[in-house]
Amino acid sequence: MRFKTDLRNIRTFSKLVAALNSLEKIAWVRLDDDTVRFTVIPDTGSQVWASLSVDLIFDNYHLQSAEPNNTINLELPLGPLQRALRSAAGSNHASLRLTKRDGVPMLSMTIHAMTKDPGGANAATAAAAAAAARAGYPPDADDDLFPQESLELSMRREREKIITQDIPVRVLHPDTVETIMQPKVREPDVHIQLPPLLQLKAISDRFTKLALTTTTGSAARPNAPGPRLELSANMHGSLRLRLVAESLDIESVWDGLDNPELDPSQLAVPLEEHPSTAFRAAGPERWATVRVDGKDWSRVLSVGRLEGRVIACFADDHALILYVYVPHHDDAAAEDVVTYYVSSYSA
Amino acid sequence: MTVLNFTLNEEGIAVLHDALTCMFKFSDELCLEAKGDKLVLTTLNISKSAYVCFTFAANRFFSRYNFEGNAQYRDRFYCQLYIRSLLSVFRARQGIDPGGHRETTIERCDVAIDDGPGIRSRLIARIVGRNGITATHSLAFEPKAPTHAKFDMDEATNHWALSSSTLRQLMDYFGPGIELLDINTDYDRKVVNFTCFTEKVQKKGANSNEAVLKKPLHTNIAVEMEEFDKVEVQDKLHIIISVKDFRAILQHAQVVSGELTTSYSNPGRPMKLTYSSEGLLCEFILMTVGEKDAMGQKHKNPRANSAAPKGFARPELDAGSRRGSSVGNENRTQPGAPGASARSAARQKSPVRSRQPGFEIRPQPMAPPPRPLPPPSASEASDSLFVAQDEDQKWEPLNPDEEEEENGADRLEWNSNNEPNPSTMRISSYVNHPTPVETEPEVDESLASGLEPTQRLSEVRQFGLFSN
């Protein structure tokens, strides 16, 4: 079993891990030749299936296992991974490999980084010089042959450091993950592009706080279920967020949002028979509604940090799914999807 | 009468405040020691595993410095103070000038220490502000001789020096939940490794357990030897210190100066870290974890230090009754041996259980070889400052059973495994300069701070503490 890769788009990777980490501390990672999939399934709350193409976050990807498609299943703590990724931000080069230390499997991240020169001015130059030196010569090459010339005293020996971050992992047997299935949900009644998540989150959080202050007592328990928010959308570009509590009834409505066209080739049923067609025909007063837990919803919305477009699919009084499209920085056409199955409640 | 007075300018106050902030991370109290040419602040943490010493040069650091001395304190004056109260006195005071710019409003700070017969013992700090306000603070102190940890430079053959700014940035890579830092060299790869790890949640057979995923990040940083200003370290030597202490030191070192120098010998022996700037010398002596102990203590709390609660009030200093003029002490004490009898008495009265103290405590009478006295009981090793601190045990790196059997008679030492004759080791100078009996212990020249022993053997002998 082998897994070794260079890291790319560390910022995006780090943000994804941060978003997942807000829902659950431990993730199931499934690696195969084509995709990297992160799955978090909390005991209560929303679950996430993030299926990424390998080249979104990895480069020089080497994978080898006895399973079909070289599949490797890992369980890893997201906190340490996030911490390691954060320390890799701004590095010259970072790589990841599956290894063992003292017989315990580890995901070992190797980071080549510079520290900032106290003088500051020439740190970038020094970094570039070091990077060039690394590209030109193997790291173990005798540097004495090609001494780096100092431009000034303060950068005389500013060298690249090699940082190794070992993240504890468990290698999962295929049998143990066989039974974990991605949820199946019926065709949605309404699909709509959400407004900027920062805005939606700010208002949702405000509603949740309001509800917590009006219903005294439940706020004291940290793990108590949060207040229920009512989330509705129609096929005419509107999204409504509503809170009904003992003494108040408030709502926010967004208009002019996009209900994207469906691609008929991707549908199981002809477009005319798709539930959304009926909802569109029923006019703007036909809302598909779900109820979400305010605290859980806030954690879900932290995915906004990925800065991707988010499509919400409502199955009226049944389910809410968010598709978060993660753009590739170097390839505008390519997109990866992170799927949130938001836990919802019936009225 | 005024024993000591000095004046600090605005910058001096800031530097002093930085030093106090750093010390406060180790202990609640410090010892102030004044001599004609320098002012020394020292502190030892509660588990006696870390010792801090800041030396301020009288002629360079202060705008004015005058050590008077008196009958009691002829050559030096010492006292013990709460760091917290000093911090609040020497804090930066910022105001807003008419232009809206923030600027400190302090012009200077005059400090005077009054002590003597019939005079209230006080440290008086007058903060003179630019705005015409003068604030006067009066702090009580306790007459207590400083405790200096001992460090033998001749023994410490391993050295390295590196920019403190670089070191500080390296620490940023270390995640939360780690306790120990292993510094080791690899001459094959020409690097020095800084490895952070914890022993906390390590469980045997945790392989199949979810607990394995709860372990914190294990971080290693390899720094090329080329980057060091100096590396003279035995190959593959692993030296382990507390991350918390190291972090506290680096935070201060980064502010103070460019280069941090370390000296150490073997695991289980002290490590010295120093850096300096104009008029200020900063020295730290940290106890290192013995190699075998790192293995043996998986289920113990290896860091007494981290467990020592901040702001833990030690009963000794709390004693308001002990406060007051040090003259009170003087009356009971023979002139020339200030505080000695009080301390000795405390030693005799309070037999602390024989745990290895973190450091060899210097200001105590010691018998030179080759007629070794009965080794002092462990209670003697405890200065009254540190009586009955159970926390001591937590730092205890060694397997106690094993240790006591082997070296039961030599508890003052941290680890005497490699020493041929442990009983001769208590004064390091004797190792290198075997001197005849009855001479006074020589000043250990290797101590950069140059602090002499507190008492002379001839002075304490009369108290009948020694059989011969």
Q: How far is B87 from chain A (nearest CA, A)?
A: 28
Helix (H), strand (E) at residue B331:
helix B327-332
* Exposure on the CB side of residue B128, measured as CA atoms within 13 A: 8
Residue B101 confidence class, pLDDT cut points 50, 70, 90:
low
Name chain A contacts of B169, Cβ cutoff 8 Å: 115-116
Residue B353 has pLDDT above 50, yes or no: no
**Widest Cα–Cα separation across chain A:** 78
Distance between B156 CA and the closest CA of chain A, angstroms: 26
- Answer yes or no: same fold for B2-140 and B158-306: yes
CA distances from A280 to A52, A101, A235, A284, A288 (A): 32, 58, 5, 8, 11
Q: What is the pLDDT of residue B201?
A: 55
User: Which of B163, B221, B231, B295 is the best residue to mutate to test the A interface, defined by the most A CB atoms within 10 Å of its own CB?
Assistant: B221
Helix axes B10-24, B243-256, angle to 10 degrees: 170
Question: What whole-number distance in Å separates Cα of residue A226 and Cα of residue A300?
Answer: 13
**B217 CB near a chain A CB, below 8 Å?**
yes
**DSSP secondary structure code for residue B218 in this structure:** E
pLDDT tens digits, one per residue of A103-114: 889 999 999 988
User: Which of A104, A117, A165 to mutate to probe the B interface, most B CBs <10 Å?
Assistant: A165
pLDDT over 90 (residue A314): yes
Whether residue B370 is preceded by a cis peptide bond, meaning omega within 30 degrees of 0, is yes
Least CA distance to B209: which residue of chain A?
Answer: A170
| pLDDT, average across residues B268-283 | 91
Taking the Cβ of residue B327 and every Cβ of chain A, the question of whether any pair is shorter than 8 Å is answered with no
- Whole-angstrom Cα distance, residue B24 to residue B88? 12
Residue spans per domain, chain B: 2-140, 158-306, 339-389+406-461
A213-217, B85-89, B371-375: segment of lowest average pLDDT: B371-375
pLDDT for the residue B444: 42
Q: Coil, strand, or helix at residue B278?
A: coil
Question: Mean of the pLDDT values across residues B392-408?
Answer: 34
Q: Give B241-251 pLDDT, tens digit per residue.
A: 999 999 999 99
- Give the percent of chain A with pLDDT over 90: 51
Closest chain A residue to B210, measured at CA? A170
Min Cα–Cα distance to chain A from B415, Å: 28
> Which residues lie below 8 Å from residue B256, measured CB to CB, with a gap of 6+?
B15, B18, B164, B275, B276, B277, B280, B282
Query: Which residue from B191, B217, B224 is facing A167, i.e. has the nearest CB?
Result: B217
- Residue B35 has phi, psi (to 5 degrees) of -130, 180
Interface mutation vs chain B, best among A87, A161, A169, A171, most B CBs within 10 Å:
A161
For residue B434, the model assigns a pLDDT of: 42
The tens digit of pLDDT for each residue in A151-207 reads: 444 444 567 889 999 999 999 988 888 888 889 888 999 999 999 999 999 999 999
- With a CB cutoff of 8 Å and minimum separation 6, the contacts of B428 are B150, B152, B154, B155, B444
Q: Are strands A335-342 and A319-327 parallel, antiparallel or unpaired?
A: antiparallel
Tell me the shortest Cα–Cα distance from B419 to chain A, in angstroms: 33
d(C-alpha A314, C-alpha A279), whole Å: 11
What local confidence, expressed as pLDDT, does residue B249 receive? 94
CB A321 within 8 A of CB A313: yes
Of the partner residues A140, A157, A168, the one whose CB lies closest to the CB of residue B213: A168
A103 touches chain B (CB under 8 A): yes
- The confidence score (pLDDT) of residue A32 equals 92
What pLDDT score was predicted for residue A5? 95
- Give how far B204 is from chain A: nearest CA, Å: 11
Q: Do A163 and B175 touch (CB under 8 A)?
A: no
Q: Which of B306, B3, B238 is nearest to B141 (CA)?
A: B3
Say which of B169, B176, B213 has its CB closest to residue A115. B169
Category of B267 on φ-ψ map: left (φ > 0), alpha (ψ -120 to 50) or beta: beta
pLDDT band at B286 (very low <50, low <70, confident <90, very high): very high
Q: Which residues contact A41 (CB under 8 A, 6 or more apart)?
A: A24, A28, A47, A180
> Which positions in chain B touch A170 (Cβ < 8 Å)?
210, 212-213
Residues A157, B227: C-beta atoms closer than 8 Å: yes
Chain segment A5-24, per-residue pLDDT in tens: 999 989 999 999 999 999 99
What are A112-147's pLDDT values in tens digits?
988 765 544 344 444 444 444 444 433 333 444 444
CA distance A315 to chain B (A): 36
Q: What is the mean pLDDT of residues B290-302?
A: 45
Distance CA A40, CA A22 (A): 10
- CATH topology for the B158-306 domain: Proliferating Cell Nuclear Antigen (3.70.10)
Residue B223 to residue B250: CA distance in whole angstroms = 17
Instruction: Flag if A101 and B207 touch (Cβ within 8 Å).
Output: no
Residue A247: pLDDT over 60: yes
Domain B2-140 top-level CATH class:
alpha beta
B64 touches chain A (CB under 8 A): no
pLDDT digits (tens, 9 = 90+) for A12-59: 999 999 999 999 999 999 999 989 999 999 988 899 999 999 989 999
Pair A289, A296: CB distance under 8 Å: no
Q: Does A133 contact chain B (CB < 8 Å)?
A: no
pLDDT confidence of B319, banded at 50, 70, 90?
A: very low
Q: Which of B217, B224, B258 sits opposite A80 (nearest CB)?
A: B217
B142 three-class SS: strand
- Shortest CA gap A131–chain B (Å): 15
Q: Is B231 helix (H, G, I), strand (E, B) or coil?
A: strand
Say which of B207, B226, B258 has its CB closest to residue A143: B226
Are B455 and B466 in contact by the 8 Å Cβ rule? The answer is no
Average pLDDT, chain B: 68
Residue of A nearest to B223 (CA): A161
pLDDT band at B433 (very low <50, low <70, confident <90, very high): very low
Residues of chain A positioned with their CB less than 8 A from the CB of B219: 87, 163-166
pLDDT at A120: 42
For residues B158 and B234, the answer to whether their CB atoms sit within 8 Å is yes
ipTM of predicted assembly, 2 dp: 0.76
Interchain proximity A163–B169, CB inside 8 Å:
no
Given 3-state DSSP classes, what are the helix, strand and coil percentages for chain B, each rounded to the nearest 5? 25, 30, 45
Residue A343, pLDDT above cutoff 50: yes
Nearest CA in chain B to A169: B213
Collapsing DSSP to helix, strand or coil, B394 comes out as helix
Q: Do B217 and A84 touch (CB under 8 A)?
A: yes
Question: What are the distances in angstroms from CA B58 to CA B15, B19, B66?
Answer: 14, 16, 8
B193 in A contact zone (CB under 8 Å)? no
Alpha-carbon gap, residue B249 to B241, rounded angstroms: 12
Of A304, A346, A342, A347, residue with least CA distance to A326: A304
All domains of chain A, ordered by start, with CATH?
A: 2-113+165-178 (3.70.10.10), 123-159 (no CATH), 190-345 (3.70.10.10)
Q: Give me the helices (H) in B62-143, please.
A: 83-89
B442-466 pLDDT per residue, tens: 434 444 444 555 666 665 555 544 4
Q: For A46, phi and psi rounded to 5 degrees? A: -80, 145
B163 touches chain A (CB under 8 A): yes
Three-state SS for chain A is CEEEEEECCHHHHHHHHHHHHCCCCEEEEEECCCEEEEEECCCCCCEEEEEEEHHHHEEEEEEECCCHHHCEEEEEEHHHHHHHHHHHCCCCEEEEEEEEECCEEEEEEEEEECCCCCCCCCHHHHHHHHHHHHHHCCCCCCHHHCCCCCCCHHHCCCCCEEEEEEEECEEECHHHHHCCCCCCCCCCCEEEECCCHHHHHHHHHHHHHHHHHHCCCCCCCCCCCCCEEEEEECCCCCEEEEEECCCCEEEEEECCCCCCCCCHHHCCCCHHHCHHHHHHHCCCCCCEEEEEEHHHHHHHHHHHHHCCEEEEEEECCCEEEEEEEEECCCCCCCEEEEEEEECEECC
- From A165, which residue of chain B is nearest by alpha-carbon distance? B219
* Chain A residues with CB-CB distance to B277 below 8 A: none
The answer, for A34 touching chain B at a CB cutoff of 8 Å, is no
Give the nearest chain B residue to A109 (CA atoms): B219
pLDDT per residue as tens digits for the range B117-162: 778 888 999 998 888 888 899 999 988 888 888 898 888 999 999 9
- Which has the higher per-residue pLDDT, A146 or B330? A146
Inter-chain CB proximity A159 and B223 less than 8 Å: yes
Provide the mean pLDDT of chain A: 83
Mean pLDDT of A243-272: 88
- Residues of B in Cβ contact (< 8 Å) with A163: 173, 219-222
